[in-house]
Amino acid sequence: MFRRFRRLRLSGNMRSLVRENMLLKEDLIYPLFVTCGGGVRRGIASMPDVFQLSIDEMIVEAKAAYADGVRAVLLFGIPEVKDSVGSDALSEHGIIAEAIRALKAELGNMLIFTDLCFCEYTDHGHCGIVDPKTGLVDNDATLELLAKQALIHAEAGADCIAPSGMMDGAVASLRVALDGAGFVNLPIMSYSAKFASGFYGPFRDAAGSAPGFGDRKSYQMSPANAREAIAESLEDEEQGADILMVKPALAYLDIVRTLRENTSLPIAVYNVSGEYSMLKKAAAFMDYNRALTEIMIGFKRAGADIIITYHAREVCRLIDERYVCAIF
C-alpha cells in the first residue's frame, strides 16, 4: 500500500512544502470603471460591491487597493458622451486619458493597464467603427483609430495597453504605432482568446456598452472552438504581444492549460463580470471564501500567471488572513 501522498499532506509545514501552486497579491489586476463628475461612487445593480467611480473616487479606491497589496489596475472609461466613432477615446482630455494622468500623479507605483476598445465609447456599443452598408465592424478602419487611442493612453502614462476588441492584426498595428512614437518599451497585453460569452452581461451594465444592434459574434470566438483560440493567441504572440489572455476564465481553463503548453509568454485570465456576480449570488448557498479561493488557485493550476478579477481586494484579504494556506 502506497501511503506517500497521504504522509506528505499530514502536517501544516509539510503540506506547505509540497504545495504546487500559490496565490500571490502580485498576480492580481483589479478592474476599475471610471466615470465623469466628482464624488461619484455609483453602485452597479448586477455587480455587488463594484462601482462606477469618478476620477477622485477611483483614486481613493486605487489607494485602498494598493494598501491591500494590489499592484495593478485595469481601467475602463465611461464617457459622458458616446457617438458613432467613440470620439471621447480619441481625445487627450477624454475620460481615460484624464484618469491615467490623475492616477499616475497620485499613486505612481500602481501599474496602469488600459482596456483599448471602442464599445464603451460608441453609441452603437460595438467594439469598432461600423460600416453602414453591412452593419458589421470595419476591421481596418478600426485599426487606425485603435492606434490613435493607444497613443493617447501611452502619452498619458499607461504601463500596458490591452486591446480587447479582437480586430484582426491589432497587435501588429499597435506595435508599429507605439514603436513609431517612441514607446518601444510599452508592453501589449492582448485579449488573444476572447470568446463570445454570456458572462459579459453585468459588464455591459457596468460600462453601458451593450451592443445596440446585432452581437459580437463576428469578432469574438465561438465557445465551441479550442484550436482556433490557441491559433489566434499564437498569432498575437507572433505579432508582438507581450502577455496573452484567456477570457472568460472559468469555462475556459482548458484553453489556459493548452496555451500554457504552447507559449512561453505570461498568460492572464480574465475572471469576468458574470463569473464575479455568479459567485456573489451563490454566497447564500455555500462557503464564499472557500469557493473564491478554489477558483483563484484553479486559475494558477491551469497555468495562468496573472488574474484579472473584481475580487482582487477580497483575495488580498484572504492572503493576509493566511486563508489560502489554511485551506490548501
Residue selected from 57, 68, 115, 237 as contacting ligand PBG according to rule CB under 6 A: 115
- Count of residues engaged in binding ligand PBG, rule: CB under 6 A: 10
Q: Per-residue x/- mask for ligand PBG, residues 151 to 170, rule CB under 6 A? A: -------------x------
Helix, coil or strand: residue 312: helix
Catalytic residue among 82, 194, 280, 300: 194
Residue selected from 95, 96, 117, 296 as contacting ligand PBG according to rule CB under 6 A: 117
Q: Name the one range near ligand PBG by CB under 6 A: 65-73, 104-112, 116-124, 229-237.
A: 116-124
DSSP code of 214? S
What are residue 120's phi and psi, to 5 degrees?
A: -80, -15
Q: How far is the CB of 44 from ligand PBG (least distance, A)?
A: 11
Distance CA 324, CA 24 (A): 10
Q: Which three cell numbers stand for residue 52?
A: 462606477
Rule CB under 6 A: which of 272-301 touch ligand PBG? 272-273
Q: Name the one range near ligand PBG by CB under 6 A: 11-19, 111-119, 129-137, 312-320.
A: 111-119
Residue 247 is among the residues annotated as catalytic for this protein? yes
The amino acid occupying position 141 is: A
Q: How far is the CB of 161 from ligand PBG (least distance, A)?
A: 13
Closest CA to 215 of 193, 232, 191, 196: 196
> Which of residues 279 and 324 has its CB atom nearest to ligand PBG in the complex?
279
Closest CA to 127 of 36, 26, 22, 203: 203
Residue nearest to ligand PBG (CB): 203
Q: Which three cell numbers stand for residue 97?
A: 486619458
Rule CB under 6 A: which of 205-234 touch ligand PBG? none
Q: 95-106 vs 139-156: helix axis angle to the nearest 10?
A: 30
Q: Name the one range near ligand PBG by CB under 6 A: 81-89, 112-120, 132-140, 221-229.
A: 112-120
Torsion angle, alpha carbons of 54, 57, 62, 67, to 10:
180
Rule CB under 6 A: which of 184-203 touch ligand PBG? 200, 203
Residue 194 is among the residues annotated as catalytic for this protein? yes
Contact 77, 96 (CB under 8 A): yes
Residue selected from 50, 96, 102, 119 as contacting ligand PBG according to rule CB under 6 A: 119
Catalytic residue among 25, 82, 148, 247: 247
> Which of residues 117 and 186 has its CB atom nearest to ligand PBG in the complex?
117
Distance CA 88, CA 80 (A): 8
Contact 85, 124 (CB under 8 A): no
Classify burial at 257, counting beta carbons within 10 Å of its beta carbon; exposed 0-12, middle 13-18, buried 19 or more.
Answer: middle
Task: Give the residue numbers annotated as catalytic, written as ranges.
Answer: 194, 247
Rule CB under 6 A: which residues touch ligand PBG? 115, 117, 119-120, 164, 200, 203-204, 272-273
